[in-house]
Each structure stands twice: as C-alpha cells, then as structure tokens.
C-alpha cells in the first residue's frame, strides 16, 4: 500500500510540474491608460491563466521603444508599432520582430499644435518649427515617412526629447510648436490641461498614408518558432478580452483603475471609447476579424516606409506579420458594440 501511495504522490507531482503555467513577459506600448485595459482584462478575468500563461504586463515607453525591447529579448511579447518593426527588420535581418495580431487597424499617429500659436496651419508650416516627443514615440520615428508624403523637408524640423509625461505640458507652455504622438493620448492629456480639441490643429498621418497600420501584438520570429503554442494561447486569451472590452468597456476601465487608482476613470473611459471607435472597431475588423491584416495594404505600408528611410533590405508582408497563430475567424469576429 505504501508503495502505491508513494507512486501516486510522485505521479501527481509530475503532473503538476507538467501543468505549471508558462511565464511570459509582456510590454505595453505606453503608460497605463484606458486602452491598455483591454490587455489587463485578460489577466483580471483569468483568460491567460486558463490558457496556462502566467503573464507579467509592464507599462511601455513608446510603441517604437517596445519593438526594440522585444527584439532585444527583454520581453517575450509586446504591444508595439508595426511600422517601427518594418524599419527594424530591414536593418537587422535574422533578428526579425513579427506582428502576430493587429490591434490598431486604423493608425493613431498624429502631429498636434495649438491654433493661433507657432504659425502652424498646415503640414507645410512645420518646416523650421520645433516638435517635442519622447525618443521612443512611434509617430516621431515615423515622421520622415509623413514628411515625404506631405512634401516637406524633414531635416528642417527640429525635435527635442521629452519624457512622455512632459510632452503635452511642453506644448501647453509654449516650449514647443507642436508634438507628435498618438492622437487619443495627446488630445485627452491636453484636455486635462484645459486645452480643448477644438483649439488644436491635428494632422493625422492616415490622411496622407492610407496603407499604414498601427500597433500590433509583436514577438520575435525566434520566440514564435520555438513557442508556437504559447503565442496561440496568448492570442486566444487576448481575443476574449478584446471582445469583452468592445461589449463592456467598463470592465476594461475597472482593470485599469485596479492597476492605478489615481487615474481619472471618466477620462480614461473617454480615451478607451475613442480608441475603440476610431482605431479598433473599423470596417476591416468587421470583415476579417480582430488581429488580421490585408497583405496588399501591409505591402503598401512596407513600400512607403522603405522608400522614406531608404531601407537596405526589401521586405515582404511575411517578413513582418504572421497570421498563423490567430484564433479562427469565427472566434475573432467582433461582438455587438457596448458603446
């Protein structure tokens, strides 16, 4: 009998070890705000745990910076700018970062200035002006592509480095003529600083760069090849939390407030709804589901970025995005809107 008990104990131990959750380090694109709630919710509702994933979710310091940190192996996966990944992959063959699920189907990259200040009324007026942004800001990194598209000389625009928390205050105090950033981040941060949206010039990159995408769930090609089931499990969990966020945005905001109770819940809900309406719940998502890209569109984006930066390697869509880890289309179709 003792032998049977001992054998049983060892058998259970082996089974428990086999079922130990897989630790995954995930970097967000920016500080914790309303839109980041759709990722935090996957932990809060146990979706990741149900998939056998123990995920640490850290704040980011810019969507372009997240690409660098995932590429370096500091994080296994992240939420980063696919356009920055295109640039990185062309310059670092063999070390590719790949998108595995598109989230910001409509890109939020923008330039913002205060009306009546700095003499900026059109993109052409940016020449000779000073723009402020963090070094890892995706819109800043992509500025040469925008400049080429609108016909301005990027070398005539001066950028100053600022911490993310100081970007909007720098514009509000008149210490910069304009800023780059994600529209939903800066517009609502400026609103908190008593500068209303109607008082802003907002130049959206997507007005001139029709093929661009925004942020995607990213990882390295090496991590995905070695851990395909981990990537699939993460995307199954995130797909559930994205759908929950669409249906019940307040759940995502609750997850945000649990992470940082000092935030303004009403402002962060407004930010989240803005993202859902403008960047996530768009026509392509209704047709092709969460996470997917159109290869023709992504190929067009690669060409725009390659031409603007003079990239040394010709990339294809398959060099920067792999859709084989996504759940089925039926699982990814968006639910009825809760907003």
Q: Read off the pLDDT of residues 281-294 as tens digits, 9 standing for 90 and up.
A: 999 999 999 999 99
pLDDT digits (tens, 9 = 90+) for 113-142: 999 998 999 999 999 999 999 999 999 999
Mean residue pLDDT across the chain: 93
The average pLDDT across 220-246 equals 98
Whether 87 and 121 share a structural domain: no
Gap between the Cα atoms of 182 and 261, Å rounded = 23
Residue 188 and residue 103: Cα distance in Å, rounded?
20
Coil, helix or strand for 276? Answer: helix
Same domain, 226 and 321: yes
Q: Which two structure tokens, joined as six digits, stand for 335?
A: 């639910």
Predicted pLDDT of residue 9: 38
Query: Residue 3: its pLDDT value, please?
Result: 41
- Cβ atoms of 63 and 31 within 8 Å: the answer is no
Q: Domain check: are 318 and 295 in the same one?
A: yes
CB distance 80 to 70 below 8 Å = yes
Residues 13 and 91 in one domain: yes
Q: Domain boundary residue among 188, 207, 226?
A: 207
Q: Residue 27: give its domain's CATH number.
A: 3.40.190.10
In this structure, the answer to whether residues 149 and 232 fall within a common structural domain is: no
Whether 47 and 178 have beta carbons less than 8 Å apart is answered as no
82 and 137 housed in the same domain: no
Q: Which pLDDT score, from 0 to 100, does residue 1 have?
A: 41
pLDDT of residue 334: 95
pLDDT band at 10 (very low <50, low <70, confident <90, very high): very low
Cα 45 off chain centre by: 21
Q: What is the pLDDT of residue 15?
A: 37
Q: Distance between CA 203 and CA 198 in Å, rounded?
A: 13
Instruction: Average the pLDDT over 269-283 and give the result.
Output: 97
155 pLDDT above the threshold of 60: yes
Cα–Cα distance for residue pair 280/270, rounded to 1 Å: 15
Q: What is the DSSP letter of 137?
A: -
User: Quick one: average pLDDT of 163-186?
Assistant: 97
Q: Print the domain residue range for 184.
A: 109-207
pLDDT above 70 as % of the chain: 95
- Please state whether beta strands 22-27 and 178-182 pair in parallel, antiparallel, or not at all (unpaired): unpaired
Would you say 329 and 238 are in contact if contact means Cβ atoms under 8 Å apart?
no
- Residue 318: CB atoms within 10 A of its CB come to 12
Q: Is residue 236 part of a domain?
A: yes
What integer pLDDT is reported at residue 303 of this predicted model? 96
- Asked, for residue 299, whether it belongs to a domain, the answer is yes
Residue 204 has pLDDT above 70, yes or no: yes
Task: Select from 160, 177, 207 the last residue of a domain.
Answer: 207
- Identify whether 186 is part of a domain: yes
Question: Do 66 and 173 fall into the same domain?
Answer: no
167 domain-assigned: yes
Q: What is the mean pLDDT of residues 197-201?
A: 97
Q: Does residue 338 lie in a domain region? A: no
Q: Is the pLDDT of residue 246 over 90?
A: yes
| pLDDT number for residue 12 | 37
Tokens 């294809």 map to which residue?
A: 316
Tell me the chain's radius of gyration from C-alpha atoms.
21
Asked if residue 68 and residue 113 are part of one domain, the reply reads no
292 alpha-carbon distance from chain centroid: 14
Q: Which pLDDT score, from 0 to 100, does residue 13 have?
A: 35
Whether 156 and 193 share a structural domain: yes
Within this chain, do residues 126 and 93 fall inside the same structural domain, yes or no? no
Same domain flag for 32 and 131? no
The confidence band for 338, taking pLDDT boundaries of 50, 70 and 90, is confident
pLDDT band at 275 (very low <50, low <70, confident <90, very high): very high
Task: Give the dihedral sign, CA 221/226/229/233.
Answer: negative
Do 100 and 160 belong to one domain?
no
Looking at the domain assignment, is residue 339 inside a domain?
Answer: no
Domain count, the chain: 2
């Amino acid at each position: 009998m003792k032998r049977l008990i001992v054998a049983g104990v060892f058998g259970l131990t082996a089974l428990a070890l086999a079922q130990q959750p897989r630790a995954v380090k995930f970097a967000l694109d920016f500080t914790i705000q309303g839109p980041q709630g759709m990722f935090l919710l996957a932990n809060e509702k146990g979706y990741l745990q149900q998939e056998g994933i123990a995920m640490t979710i850290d704040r980011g310091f810019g969507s372009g910076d997240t690409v660098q940190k995932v590429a370096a192996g500091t994080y296994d996966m992240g939420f980063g700018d696919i356009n920055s990944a295109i640039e990185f992959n062309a310059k670092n063959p063999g070390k590719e970062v790949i998108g595995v699920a598109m989230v910001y189907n409509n890109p939020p990259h923008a330039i913002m200035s205060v009306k009546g200040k700095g003499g900026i009324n059109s993109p052409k007026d940016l020449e000779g002006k000073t723009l402020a942004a963090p070094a890892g800001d995706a819109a800043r990194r992509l500025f040469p592509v925008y400049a080429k598209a609108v016909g301005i000389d990027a070398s005539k625009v001066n950028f100053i480095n600022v911490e993310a928390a100081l970007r909007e205050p720098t514009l509000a105090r008149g210490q910069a003529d304009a800023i780059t950033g994600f529209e939903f981040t800066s517009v609502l941060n400026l609103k908190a600083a008593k500068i209303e949206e109607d008082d802003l010039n907002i130049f959206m990159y997507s007005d001139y760069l029709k093929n661009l995408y925004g942020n995607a769930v990213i990882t390295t090609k090496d991590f995905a090849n070695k851990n395909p089931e981990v990537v699939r499990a993460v995307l199954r969990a995130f797909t559930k939390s994205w759908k929950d966020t669409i249906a019940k945005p307040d759940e995502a905001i609750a997850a945000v407030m649990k992470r940082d109770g000092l935030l303004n819940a009403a402002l962060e809900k407004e930010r989240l709804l803005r993202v859902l309406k403008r960047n996530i719940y768009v026509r392509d998502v209704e047709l092709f589901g969460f996470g997917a890209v159109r290869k023709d569109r992504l190929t067009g984006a690669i060409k725009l970025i390659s031409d603007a930066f003079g990239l040394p390697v010709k990339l294809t869509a398959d060099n920067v995005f792999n859709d084989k880890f996504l759940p089925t289309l039926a699982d990814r179709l968006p639910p009825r809107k809760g907003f």
